[in-house]
Each structure stands twice: as structure tokens, then as C-alpha cells.
A and B are shown apart, each in its own frame.
Chain A
Amino acid sequence: MTSRQYYLTETRREFLKYTGTGIGALGLASALNNNLYAASNNESVSFLNPHFVPKAKNVIYIHLVGGPSHLELFDHKPELIKRDGQKCPDHMFKGKQLAFIRDHPTLLGTRFKYNKYGQGGLALSEHLPLMGKMADHLAIVKTVRTEQFNHAPAQLFLHTGFERFGRPGLGSWVSYGLGTENRDLPSYVVLITGSVAGAGNSLWGSGFLPTLHQGVEFRSQGDPVLFLSNPKGISDQNRRDIISGINFLNETALADVGDPEIATRISQYELAYRMQASVPELMSINSETSSTLESYGAKPGNKSFANNCLLARRLVERGVRFVQLFDQGWDHHSGLFGSIPKKARQLDRPVAALISDLRERGLLDETLIVIGAEFGRTPMLQGLSNNRAANNVGRDHHKEAYSMIFAGGGIRGGTSYGETDELGYQAIDNPVHVHDINATILHQLGLNHERLTFKYQGRKFRLTDVHGDVINGILT
């Protein structure tokens, strides 16, 4: 048995250590796949091994941290505007848990116009005109419900299906299920604008899954990947010499001891060396044409959401399975009508450009774009009822119903799915739970959320716990 064959056997065995027996073909392929991302340096590493034919290969998931107001952006409620200033109906306040509102609040109608876009006449805020032009690619789910109304727990719940720490997030599950297509890059990459979301790095930690599946943050400041650059005074040639030295001595040890982990480590050092060149290249958007840069509103050297959208395209282009964007600054407890236009402008152009750029490159069909948040905002005003100045009013956290946007890989564009009541408080038609969202995303990647399991502490865990239904109404 060559060390490589042996290595594969070992991999299989190691995998079973994590999963126990009886998981079927998915797990086995996944295990080989995972370790090959980490190890092999001379074979194709494409191991897409889903449960059924996938509609998408990659995901770009944009999380608008803080929870933007669906009522200002996606869900038009004329009746709410009409009843602006009236006390909200009892069922929206009495016996409900709210984060900040303590006194019986008044209703707050939006002060923005909505326009209809595309063949389907999809209604979107006047502040999202460029996304409007992409309306025939968008599906808006208006009835998402979550169970948490504070940021950190709600963020954990959205990503891991559980409101406390310790579980893997969606990106880790996808990495575990499908692995990567690029042997030089992690399968799950995280890009952040603004400060980190409340739940911290745990949002992309791998929980009980092998840490191989945790998201790797590509940073816009300092080394794009931690510890990527050499110490001062160490040239590329020095580094090459050192790595050759390490690998020479490791090979000697491999010959003596025969532990395949050593073979893996040797390839990891080669991969690390390649990453020192490939990651900076990937992160540098200088090579993009000026018209591309302009369409996103991206500028080389900037730390902007626009830059991150462009990087997301570059990452999926290179086979990174799951790209997670976080954009901070959507928690509008006050100053709602001043802040939304500004934030919407930052969102509108890059997202529209991302969709059209992916389409032009033939990548839109295989890339699922998700725009979401941990929760929405109340139809009720937060702040003093007698001061309704634009820079004063805001909305509280809202878990009963909010909107999420889908585009690309297998999504039926121009769709509005689900309906909230006339005040935008809760679903009256086609309610959707966060678990359904996660089930749907996995479904598009060819993964059955009920079969993507990991055995831990004597129990088979799923991202969707014991819930989740695929939202067929938004799929092609």
C-alpha cells in the first residue's frame, strides 16, 4: 500500500470517528472531500456529492447585521401609512415580548415610496432602484419568522438553527456536506464590513463539526488571512528554503514512522506556501476593469460592502463554496428615515452589480444569492409618540415577520412569496420559518436537510433541528 492509498483508508476511518456508521454515501464522499481540501496537492478536488441534482454550487449569503426594516425596503403597507400615529392594535403589544418598547406604541407608516419593477411588477422601495432593475431575478419572501428578538441570539438562531452557542452554522454544514472545489482555498469564507456581529466569531465557527469546516475570515485590514505574510526580513526565497527544510525533515519522519498525518502535513505546508501568493492575488481587485469597479462602486484599497460584493464574485469564481458577507449598521432604533436611504444606497448598487456580473459570467445559475438578517422591525414606532421627526423615530426588533431576498441558482425571479397582514405585523399567507430558509438553501445545493446529519453526544444533529420545509414557491 502506498502512503497515499493508506492515507485514503485512514481518512475514511477518521471520518467514521466523527460520524459513526450508517450515514451512507454522502458522508463518505464528504469525508474524502474535506480531507482532500486539506491535503491533496495533485488531483482534482471536486467532490460535489449531493443527495440529488443540485440547482446551485455556491452560495453568497449577505447578512445585514442589526435587522433592516422590511417595511421601508421590501414590504409595502399602505394601510400602515394610513393609520400612522394611531395606537397599535392590542394583539401587537399585549402579552408580547419586545426588546425596547415598554408602553403601548403607535403605528408608524413608511415615508418612502414604492415602485413596481420588472415583468412581475415586484414592489421595492424607491431607495433600491438598481436592484429594481434586477427584479426579474429576485424572489422576496415576506413572511420569515424567527424565534429570537435580541441580536446575538437571533444571529445564532438564523445561522445555526439554535439560539445558544455550540452548534455549527449553515456555511459549516455546507462545507461538511459538499467540501470545496478549490484545493488552494477554504470552502467557507467570511467577509465583514463594520464591526463584528454581536455573536462574534462563533457565527462562523464550526460548532461540533470538525474545525476544518469553520469559516475563514478574509480580512480587509492587515493580512487578508491571519498569519499569511512572512515576518519582516524573511523573503519569499527564505520562506521557500524553510518550507523545503520542514518538508524534507517531515519526509524523513514519514519514512520512519509511517503515519499518514505526516504526509498530510507536508501537503499543508505546500498549500500554505501557495496561499501566500494566491490569496493576496484574490483579494486584490486592481485587475478588474474600470467598468466592473464602477458598476459595483468598488475601489481598490477600500473597506466597503461594494468591495466585498466584488470579492464574493471572485471567490465563487474560484470555487469557494460558501461566501458569507456581514454588513453592520442596520439596527435603526432611531433616525430610521435618515439612515435607511444611506444604507440602502450602499446596498443597492453592489448587489445589483453582483447579480448582473454573475449573470454575464454565466455564474448566476449556479450561485445562490441570499440577503437576510437576524430579524425585521416592528410596524410600531419606537421613541416618543409625540415626536415623529424623521431623525427621531425608529422601529424595534421584530421576529413575527420580515423579508429575505433570494436570487440566482434555481430561484424563480420576479416572485413575491407570502403575505403579511395589512400592517406588516405577521404572516397571513405562506408563513416561513428560519428553519425553512435553511432547508431551502441546502435544497438548492442538492442537500436534503433531513439527511445532512452529524452524530454528536449520542444524537444526530441537523441544522434544522426537527423542523424545516423547502419553500417550493420560490423555486424554478
Chain B
Amino acid sequence: MNAIIVSGLLGVIMMFSGIVLKNRSAITNLAAIGLLLLLIANILGTYGICTISINTHNMLRFEKFGMFFNSIAFAATLLYVLLSGRDLERTGVNTGEYYALIFFVLCGVSILSSFNGLLMLFLGIEILSIPLYILTGADKRNLRSNEASLKYFLMGSFSTGIMLMGITLIYGATGYFDLGHSPVVPSTGEQRATFLEVAGILLLFASMCFKVSAAPFHFWTPDVYDGAPSVFTSFMATVVKASGFIAFVRLFDRHGNELGPGPTWSLLLGFVIIATLLVGNITAVFQQSVKRMLAYSSIAQAGFMLFALYGNNDLAKEGILLYSVAYCLATIGIFAILIRMNDYTFDGFNGLAKTQPVLAITNTVFLLSLAGIPLTAGFFAKYYMLASAVKAGASLWLVIVAVIFAAVSVYYYFRVIQAMYFKDGDPATAPIGTGFKAMLILMAALIILFGIFPSMVLGAFYF
């Protein structure tokens, strides 16, 4: 409860901060302090210390899993603001409003991590998406940003329409705005969904796939991520995407077998996972722009995160939390470096190791973590995902295909490392301060720390 209220209030405060504070960096500092407060309020809320408690009539359910994810999302946003706050100020003149929208997105994140029932799921998704449409078009004079914004908006509201139709059909069939209320067959005593409910669940599944950019509903992702201002792409690709997965996992937690008897659900998911991995990895190989490559790589990472849905057990829940941490840290770091580069192509990174050794070494750690190399957090994240699927009885072929695609991903991540270390060039970068370097080193250190002791994240989860 704390997280939802505090993030909403902070959003309103940030909206008015532009009137009081004329200095842009003061607004960034205010946002960082606000995020710290939000994080503390959420941690207090996790241990039952609530400032305000409201009877939500069972529409929200606060449990450890969601609350802990809130902490991860808020901490990642705090790191993001500390790293890229200066670049965010340069996007346009409305710095206070950008932060206000980010806080409203975080309000959506905390609703998505605690919804109980489809009404709150719908509201959470919308509170999350609508500010993002605006942030995508934040660069008002840039045609690419305009285009990305319109595309994101039209696709997003289209998928909302599909989701609402799914919710309505489920309601019509069962009388509840929730999964798991299928009518009981008198002869066998087991629950069996009617045709109307199966159609509804499929529509809901499709629209959730759309929100987390899983194939075959991924087509908007590269264009939107590429066109949006890089600062906001960084936020969209990390915190927002991870929270989409938390909502997905919580929604289909224990449900899904209602689709039909036998392996229907795992067959459907298996198809989506393989399609997502295939599209994301193979297309990423052919990209010339690092930003666009990262957009496709985020589709590929979504394929791995879908294994949490496949596994649907305790291991999967631990895994998706670990994956969120590893993926958010690494992607925020890479984007922070990318924003400072003048040239977004692979060639733009040529010779970075000579001119900016700290950027090069930390970028290498982030890329290795995304590729899932041992000793980085990304390795254990991928390991937990695959282990949960195996534990849930996944076909060995599915796991082998996933590992092969992880190997493919090494190719395009290493192209950046190769450009930085083994090619000559004089990469032009924006001025880079000591604080920025220190933050990058801190994040790289965290990635290695969680790579050696993944139990630190999971220990905090069970504490």
C-alpha cells in the first residue's frame, strides 16, 4: 500500500517542482531523494509497517514476491536516475514532468505487483502505459520520436482493447473478474473451462505477450525502442518490461491448465518461447545500430524470462526476481554508456578502450552479464530460469534450443566488445564526469557480486 500511495504523491509533487525549482539539476536531485523515500517506504511496507492502511476489498493482495519486486524496481530506477539524470535533463525543457511521469509509471508497477483480480490488472497496465506513450514522444521536434510515440500508442491501445475483450469473455463465462473460477463438471469433480472462457484466456494471454514484447506480438518493440529518446528507452526496456513479466507470472500463477486438458498450455508457451528467442536473437545479429541491437536483445531476453511462466514454481519466482536484477542493472548500464556516445553504430565504439578505459571495462561486464557468462549475475538468472522449466517437466529440447540461442546472443554482444578493444578509432563521447564513472563501477561490481553470490538477492527475498 505504501508504495502505491507514496509513488502517486511523489508524482504530483514532481509535477509542481518545475514551478518552484528553476534549476534542472535540483529537480533531478529531488527525484533521487523521492525515489530513496519510495524505496524506504516500500521496504517498511514489506515488513508490515504501513503509514496508511486502506481496506481494498480484496482487490489488491500484498505478498512478499510483489513487494520485493517493487524494491528491485525502485532501486533500479534510483540507479537509473543517478546515472542518466543529467542526460534526461537534456531531452527537453520539461524535466519535472518527465520525473512525474516516471513516478506514475512506478505507481503502475506497484499496482501490477499486487493486483488481485483482472480489474486491477487492467488499471495497473494502463497507469503503466499511458505515461510511457508521452515519454516516448518527449523529443517533440524529432520525427522519429513522434513516430515511435504514435506507433506505441496505437499498438498499445489496440492490445488494451484485446485484453478487455478477454477479460469480458472470462467474466461472462464465470461471473468473476479473476482466473480460476471455471465451473465444476459434476461427473468428475474437476474444473473445466467453457469455450467462452478459453477464448477469453487466449485473448488475455495474447495481450500480455504484447505488453512484454514476446513473439509473435513483438513487432512494435524495435521501432519504439529505437525511436524513443535513449534515456527513456533505457527505462522502458528495464523496469517496465520486468514489471510486465511480474504481472504475467502473477496472473497465470497456478492457472493456465484451464485452457484444456493435457499439455495445451505448455505447448502454447513453448511455441511462444521458441518464436521469441528465434526472432530476437537472429534479427539482432544483423543490426548495425547498437541501440536497435539492444531492442532486439530485449526481445531475446523476454524469451528467457518467459521460462518463469513455463516453470511456474518457487524456483521460477526466485529466478524471475534474479533475472530482473541482472537484466535491469546490465541494461541500464549499457544504455547509460550508449547515451554518451555520439555514434550509435557498432563502429562508433571502435577504440573506446584506449580513450575511455573505465567505460570500456564496465560495458564489457554489462554485456557479459546479458550474454549469461559465468561469474556475472546474468549466468545465474538464466540458470534459474532453465532449472525451473526442467523441474516443471519441460521437454529437454526446449532447454537445448534456449541454450543454443544463448550462444547465438554471445555473437552480437561480443561484437561491441570487439569494437571497443580490438579496433582502432577515435570514438567521440559527451563529457564524462568522475561521478558517472564511479556509478558505472558500482553497478559492474554489483553484477559480479550477484554473479558470485546470487543468494544475496534471494536471501533478501526470504528474509
| Binding partners A and B | no
